[in-house]
Amino acid sequence: MKPPKLFPMFLKLLARPCLVVGAGAIAESKIASLLEAGARVRVVAPEATEQIRSWAASKTIEWHQRPFQPADLESMFLVIAATSSTELHERIYKEATQRGVLCNIVDVPALCDFYYPSVVQRGALQIAISTAGQSPALAQRLRKQLEDQFGPEYEEWLTQLGEARDRLRSANANPEQRKRLLHEDASEEAFEAFLRNRRQKKLQGK
């Protein structure tokens, strides 16, 4: 059966309550990504890795040291489950669906409302790749190719583009002129000029 078409988007999770069921190595990586996005993270698991225990001790996350209960889903925006129990995963997905909570059961595409894409991160620039769970290996290979194509210099350049955009907005230029200048700033020619200037500064020791 042809998989349903996914709706690509980037979520703002700042201060949103998110639940993670499980506290092993895989769950730890999911928790870390949620914390990077500013989410309020609650973890439910009888045992936890050293890092998760450290986050709990510093109040970075809220850890309930016990098995999952359906009430844990109340008021949650999303839930991620990474345990060794298929039965528990199916239960969590069912309970989350009934409550309208977005659910991701790690490595079980059929029990996911959303997937974790492979991501190329260059500061504010994010390039996400998804295969709808069909081939994470392909997504990882494409990510590596894009990391070579879009190097660390893009972070610095994007910062400059953002500053230029702010200056244009405060200059009260007419919309058409502003649009033209913004596209010129983001052009391939402008990027090549940025690289030349960057190399020159390095040679001058600045």
**82 and 164 share a domain?**
no
Same domain, 73 and 101: yes
Are 68 and 140 in the same domain?
no
What is the Cα 116 distance to its own chain's centre?
Answer: 7
Question: 40 and 90 in one domain?
Answer: yes
Task: Report yes or no on 42 lying in a domain.
Answer: yes
Element (H, E) at 31: helix 25-36
Same domain, 73 and 111: yes
SS3 (DSSP) at 30? helix
Assign 1 a pLDDT band (cuts: 50, 70, 90): low
Cα dihedral: 63, 71, 31, 162 (round 10): -120
180 is a domain residue: yes
pLDDT tens readout for residues 129-184: 998 878 889 999 999 999 999 999 999 999 999 999 999 888 877 889 889 999 99
Phi, psi of 201 (to 5 degrees): -65, -40
Has residue 3 got a pLDDT over 70? no
Classify residue 68: in a domain, yes or no: yes
For 184-195, what is each residue's pLDDT tens digit?
A: 999 999 999 999
Same domain, 37 and 106: yes
- Domain boundary residue among 57, 90, 115? 115
CATH number at 33 reads 3.40.50.720
Q: What is the mean pLDDT of residues 94-120?
A: 94
Same domain assignment for residues 99 and 145: no
Tokens 């620039």 sit on residue: 125
Are residues 50 and 27 part of one domain?
yes
How confident is the model at residue 101, as a pLDDT? Answer: 98
Residue-wise pLDDT for 13-26, tens only, equals 999 999 999 999 99
132 in the same domain as 73 = no
**Position 12 in a domain:** no
pLDDT at 159: 95
CA dist 146 and 180 (Å) reads 27
Q: pTM here?
A: 0.82
Which CATH number goes with the domain that contains 129? 3.30.160
Structural domain of residue 167, as residue ranges? 153-203
Give CA torsion, residues 101, 106, 109, 110, to 10 deg: -60
Report the alpha-carbon distance of residue 90 to residue 105 in Å, rounded: 9
Domain edge (last residue) among 96, 115, 134: 115
3-class DSSP assignment, residue 123: coil
Please check whether residue 98 lies inside any domain of the structure.
yes
pLDDT, tens digit (0-9, with 9 covering 90-100), for 24-38: 999 999 999 999 999
Same structural domain, 110 and 34: yes
188 in a structural domain: yes
Q: Are residues 83 and 157 in the same domain?
A: no
Amino acid 147: pLDDT: 95
Q: Are 46 and 67 in contact (CB under 8 A)?
A: yes
pLDDT in the model for residue 206: 62
Q: Which of 106, 105, 155, 116 is nearest to 139 (CA)?
A: 116
Element (H, E) at 50: helix 50-57
How many domains does the chain contain in total?
3
Element (H, E) at 122: strand 118-122
Q: Which two tokens stand for residue 185?
A: 């700033």
| 4 within a domain of the structure (yes/no) | no
Q: Are 184 and 198 found together in one domain?
A: yes
